[in-house]
Amino acid sequence: MRRTVWLLFFLALFPSAGWPEDTLKVGVVDVQRVISESQVGKRAKEKFQAEVKKAEAELLNEKQELERLKGDLDKKGAVLRAEEKQDLERQFQRRYRDFLRAMQSSQKELQQRQNEMAARILDGVRKVVVEIGKKEAFTLILGQFQTLYNGKAIDITDRVIELYNRSSSKAPTAGN
Domain ranges of the chain: 2-170
Q: In whole angstroms, what is the distance from residue 159 CA to residue 176 CA?
A: 22
pLDDT at 100 over 60: yes
pLDDT at 21 over 90: no
The residue that leads in pLDDT, 147 or 106, is: 106
Nearest to 34 by CA among 171, 172, 164, 167: 164
The answer, as to whether pTM is greater than 0.75, is: no
Q: In whole angstroms, what is the distance from residue 92 CA to residue 168 CA?
A: 50
pLDDT digits (tens, 9 = 90+) for 11-20: 555 555 554 5
Nearest to 34 by CA among 116, 115, 111, 129: 129
pLDDT digits (tens, 9 = 90+) for 60-96: 999 998 998 888 888 877 787 888 888 888 988 999 9
Nearest to 161 by CA among 30, 55, 73, 9: 30
pLDDT given for residue 174 in this prediction: 45
Q: What are phi and psi of 29, to 5 degrees?
A: -125, 130
pLDDT given for residue 3 in this prediction: 64
Q: Which CATH superfamily groups domain 2-170?
A: Skp domain (3.30.910.20)
47-82 burial, b at 16+ Cβ within 10 Å, e below that, comes to ebeebeeebeeeeeeeeeeeeebeeeeeeeeeebee
Helix residue ranges per DSSP H, the chain: 2-13, 15-18, 31-37, 39-76, 82-135, 157-170
Residue 142, SS3 per DSSP: strand
pLDDT given for residue 108 in this prediction: 96
pLDDT given for residue 93 in this prediction: 92
